[in-house]
Amino acid sequence: MRHSVIVFETGIATHVGRVRGANEDGLLADPQTGVWLVADGMGGHEKGELASATIVEEVSGIGEAASAADQIACFRDAVLRANSKLLRAAGQLGPNASIGSTVAAVLIHGTHYACAWSGDSRVYLVRAGHIRQLSRDHRHVQDLVDSGAITPAEARVSPQRSLITRAVGIMDDPGLEVLEGDIESGDAFVVCSDGLTDPVEDAEILQYVEAHAPQAACDALVDLALERGAPDNVTVIVVRCLTGEAG
């Protein structure tokens, strides 16, 4: 008997950008385990690279899950292990040292998805010609927007716009948030660092994802960020989900 399954088409692209000396972003794209992840390291180039690489290493070891709930639990555990490792590494450098990274991920099990994040790297869902930001930026300016103190337009140009309120490796609890839902055939998920979303508008991300295959969309979006100066590392993953059949 044949049954429907979700098949994936994935594109990935990352670039150091026009200003930074090293790429502190990390990524993971693993259709076998249903995990796509971007981590944006902080704390200076060696420490930032260590932070993002530690998250990728821990999450890449979770393996295939028996259920969506098990997949989310394993992901949480992996992030917590990375958090503990980074706290210990920072402690060895001195009392004021910090080694941290954002994380944003899409986890897919069957027709179920989970968006998980800490920090301001983002996850979007592109569905039926519309784009929706699933994650909520853990930024100080986002809290001000939510309270009505400033407008979204003011937040984009605020000198405090890069101040994040959560990250992996900074506190005992990384404050991971999870949002869950069901997949529809044709859905596309975009996982990216703020090196993309600061210079590129949501409507432009939608345009490229709708018009191109995932790899071509990723390449074009990175090129667009570079055209606009790309002051930060730029990383983007696009995952398109289609319904297939298995026997």
What pLDDT, in 10s, does the model give residues 98-107? Answer: 899 999 999 9
Q: Tell me which of 66-80, 118-132, 152-166 is least confident.
A: 152-166
Domains in the chain and their CATH numbers? 3-246 (3.60.40.10)
User: Nearest CA to 27 among 235, 215, 242?
Assistant: 235
Confidence of residue 2 (pLDDT cuts 50, 70, 90): low
Q: State the average pLDDT over residues 154-163.
A: 81
Q: CA-CA distances (angstroms) from residue 83 to 28, 104, 160, 174, 223?
A: 17, 14, 25, 7, 32
Task: Report the pLDDT averaged over residues 7-23.
Answer: 96
pLDDT at 45 over 70: no
Q: What percent of the chain has pLDDT over 90?
A: 79
Question: Cβ distance 93 to 180 under 8 Å?
Answer: no
Q: 37 φ, ψ to 5°?
A: -145, 145
Is the pLDDT assigned to residue 245 strictly greater than 90? no
> Pick from 102, 100, 104: which is nearest to 169 by CA?
100
Residue 208 has pLDDT above 70, yes or no: yes
Residue (of 52, 73, 85, 92) closest to 233 by Cα position: 52
pLDDT at 246: 58
What is the per-residue burial (b if ≥16 Cβ within 10 Å, else e) of 119-133? bbbbbbbbeeeebee
Distance of alpha carbon 175 from alpha carbon 104, whole angstroms: 12
Position 79 pLDDT exceeds 80: yes
Give which of 233, 236, 239 is closest to 49, Cα–Cα.
Answer: 233
**Mean pLDDT along residues 127-147:** 92
| Residue tagged 């990935």 (tokens) | 12
Q: How far is CA 151 from CA 60, 133, 135, 203, 221, in A?
A: 38, 17, 19, 18, 26
User: Does residue 4 surpass a pLDDT of 70?
Assistant: no
Say if residues 115 and 103 touch (Cβ distance below 8 Å): no
Query: Edge-to-edge strand order for the sheet containing 122-127?
Result: 3-15, 234-246, 188-192, 122-127, 130-133
